[in-house]
Amino acid sequence: MTGIKRLIALLPVFLLALTPVCFTSCKNSGEEKKAEKQAADVDMPASVEEIAQERGLTPKDVEAALKTYMPSGRYDDYVIFASGGHSGQVFVIGVPSMRLLKTIAVFTPEPWQGYATGSKESQEILSEGNMPEGSDNKLTWADVHHPALSETNGDYDGQFLFVNDKANARVAVIDLRDFETKQIIKNPNTISDHGASFVTPNTEYVIETTQYSAPLPYGDYAGLDQYKEKYRGLATFHKFDREKGRIDESQSFSIELPPYWQDLCDAGKKVSDGWAFCNSINSEMAIGGINEGNPPYEAGISQREADYLHVFNWKKAVEVFKQGKAKQLNGQNIIPLDTAIAEGLIYFMTVPKSPHGVDVSPTGNFIVASGKLDTHATIYSFNKIMDAIKNNKIEGKDDYGVPILNFNDVMEKQVDIGLGPLHTQFDDKGNAYTSVFVESTLAKWRLGPPEYDGPDPWTLVEKIPVQYNIGHVVCAEGDTVAPDGKYCVALNKWSIDRFLPVGPLHPQNFQLIDISGKNMQLLYDMPIGVGEPHYVQMIKADKLKPWLVYPEVGFNPMTMSVDPEAASVGNERIVRNGNNVEVWMSVIRSHFNPEHIMVNEGDKVTIHLTNVERARDATHGFAIDGYNVNLSLEPGEASTVEFVADKPGVFPFYCTEFCSALHLEMMGYLLVQPKEPKS
């Protein structure tokens, strides 16, 4: 029996196994019967074989297709939240189909969602992230790096998502009830971050660390010749108020750090809860200057054999902060480095060869770090770290007095996995999956007890090539206390020859890999036409409980409550007060009310709109031609637009969503009477 024939022979069994899954979501027994009849009638095997032959598909291809195909109307098992890279947004993608479900606007205007394209509420959120000063302090792009799902007891709870902007050191909060951005924090003393966003096991804090150091406080000037003295990094612990769904900066604090380039972090979990681990490079404190005859950064930073993994006792840092031992710089609470050392809040561990990722294993016992120029994953034992701290097993101190734990006392194992290991995720069977950049592979290897109790611990199991240049990897819930196994996605920087050429700027490549079987299997390539999506979190779809429509009519997504200024049916009106014209407008298929808004040139116009619909998907838009306005009003949503009517003339406004047969007719006029009639 050929492979294809075997697969085809198995197809009816496969379909039978799947049908009950469908039936649980089918609405009525009539549909069940219809589906059963169709399954029986269609001569699947012959046609599948023909199709496979015609398209030149191997049995493995057919298997991969069956594992990823979602029939119309069926939902994916997992959802990934992918950083949108330079787009400043977040992509929501279904797994295993790899269908793009949504783009969430975060750091950049997004017209479809009406994000910062007219609505007062979203404009205010985006403005929170502006630079504090300068002639043009508005930031119009971001470099989104690491999304983090909120956790309860170290497991994803599906409530919130946090993402950072490396380019400007910002952290955003997205509420997963409506998949909308609620808050953007501009770190007042950090100009560049990379080690963000990472949450503690109950989302008490969102961790953000500086990448490229700058003088502290932000705004001070010091030349690079004063790098060691004046430049500093920061680890910021943003306090998350789950009730309010916002970061509370008054309860947040930072720890001053040496000017090494702090990198990725992970919070301890279970046994290591209360601790956090952040990698760094540039312990050389190289200052570059290729144009002045100095070694370039890439060489200067790679001189030493090892850099420092920062070990933070964040729970103790909270106490120290509450004792009033932080000072305020630019309104931010900062625990000085000397205080942090004296209070035992910070220790270093050495990591060979320019480390990058750091990942805590599901039980919290192991901390996995890897050097970009190394072939090993280096695994540290949390118990050994605690023992070294307790018994002062240190190999010295850095230039700033931070104790360096003795490498051989804290290191558990080194596993040889391939050249250029970056990031590690975990499954439910005691395996780790590490992205290997230089080799372009995903490496599966075994942990040791208590994560894995079987034969051959701490050994490489299998490697699978990926196309190409893998950065991060994500596996299903693979950084939680309870990974699912099943799938990983390789986040590849280069696609080279994988897709139809579309010019010199090529898509990046998300590759779905099945890890549930004995061998890893590549299932699907998903081109990402936006650079550079960086990291991803993968959550079981049934943990997400998003609203299908806003819970009440007149709901303001920013306050997550009914807006007292919301317009309602029967209460639509236009009120003039001096030069201020305020409009309360209801929105429903297929009209706005009022339809005529007459103002004078120079009037300040405020329009409160409410979509009074309750039907799922009955979204309306509200665009004013020539005034650069477009709102999205989802069912129940209230939104406000404010502008000065400084352009005299006649401006149609209309609904930008194809909402009904009479969608074209859903419009009105803004009439702006000129101050002086044209002669």
Assess 112 for contact with ligand CUA (CB under 6 A): no
Assess 657 for contact with ligand CUA (CB under 6 A): yes
**Exposed e or buried b per residue across 185-199, where buried means at least 16 C-beta atoms within 10 angstroms of its C-beta:** bbbbbbbbbbbbbbb
Assess 620 for contact with ligand CUA (CB under 6 A): yes
Shortest distance in whole angstroms from residue 663 CB to ligand CUA:
3
**CB of 552 or CB of 617, closer to ligand CUA:** 617
Assess 481 for contact with ligand CUA (CB under 6 A): no
Residue whose structure tokens are 């490229």: 212
Take residue 261 and report the two structure tokens written for it.
Answer: 């380039």
Cα–Cα distance measured from residue 431 to residue 448, given in angstroms and rounded to the nearest whole number: 9
Cα–Cα distance measured from residue 474 to residue 657, given in angstroms and rounded to the nearest whole number: 35
Q: Could you say which of 265, 520, 659, 672 contacts ligand CUA (CB under 6 A)?
A: 659
Shortest distance in whole angstroms from residue 141 CB to ligand CUA:
30
Cα–Cα distance measured from residue 575 to residue 606, given in angstroms and rounded to the nearest whole number: 10
Assess 624 for contact with ligand CUA (CB under 6 A): no
Assess 670 for contact with ligand CUA (CB under 6 A): no
Residues 563-592 that bind ligand CUA (CB under 6 A): 589-590
Q: How many residues bind ligand CUA (CB under 6 A)?
A: 9
Q: Which stretch binds ligand CUA (CB under 6 A): 30-38, 46-54, 103-111, 653-661?
A: 653-661
Neighbours of 95 (CB within 10 A): 27
Assess 663 for contact with ligand CUA (CB under 6 A): yes
Q: What is the Cβ-side half-sphere exposure of residue 519, based on CA atoms within 13 angstroms?
A: 7
**CB of 538 or CB of 633, closer to ligand CUA:** 633
| Residue 121 Cα distances to 91, 249, 486, 614, angstroms | 22, 20, 40, 22
**CB of 92 or CB of 659, closer to ligand CUA:** 659
Q: Could you say which of 173, 306, 655, 672 contacts ligand CUA (CB under 6 A)?
A: 655
Quote the distance between the C-alpha of residue 17 and its chain's center: 35
Q: What is the Cβ-side half-sphere exposure of residue 439, based on CA atoms within 13 angstroms?
A: 20
Sheet bearing 366-371, strands edge to edge? 355-360, 366-371, 376-381, 411-416
**CB of 308 or CB of 622, closer to ligand CUA:** 622
**CB of 340 or CB of 633, closer to ligand CUA:** 633
Cα–Cα distance measured from residue 225 to residue 653, given in angstroms and rounded to the nearest whole number: 58
Residues 404-463 that bind ligand CUA (CB under 6 A): none
Residue whose structure tokens are 């789950």: 242
Partners of 195 in the β-ladder:
209
Assess 666 for contact with ligand CUA (CB under 6 A): yes
**CB of 77 or CB of 634, closer to ligand CUA:** 634
Assess 667 for contact with ligand CUA (CB under 6 A): no
Assess 634 for contact with ligand CUA (CB under 6 A): no
**CB of 466 or CB of 588, closer to ligand CUA:** 588
| Residue 298 Cα distances to 282, 288, 354, angstroms | 10, 8, 10
Q: Which stretch binds ligand CUA (CB under 6 A): 122-130, 251-259, 387-395, 652-660?
A: 652-660
Q: Is 643 helix (H, G, I), strand (E, B) or coil?
A: strand
Positive/negative CA dihedral, 614, 618, 619, 620 = negative
Contacts with 293 (C-beta within 8 Å, 6 or more apart), sequence order: none
Residues 244-273 that bind ligand CUA (CB under 6 A): none
Assess 637 for contact with ligand CUA (CB under 6 A): no
Q: Which stretch binds ligand CUA (CB under 6 A): 29-37, 367-375, 501-509, 650-658?
A: 650-658
Q: What is the Cβ-side half-sphere exposure of residue 619, based on CA atoms within 13 angstroms?
A: 16
Shortest distance in whole angstroms from residue 110 CB to ligand CUA:
19
Shortest distance in whole angstroms from residue 641 CB to ligand CUA:
16
Contact 162, 174 (CB under 8 A): yes
Which residues in this chain contact ligand CUA in the complex, by CB under 6 A?
A: 589-590, 620, 655, 657-659, 663, 666
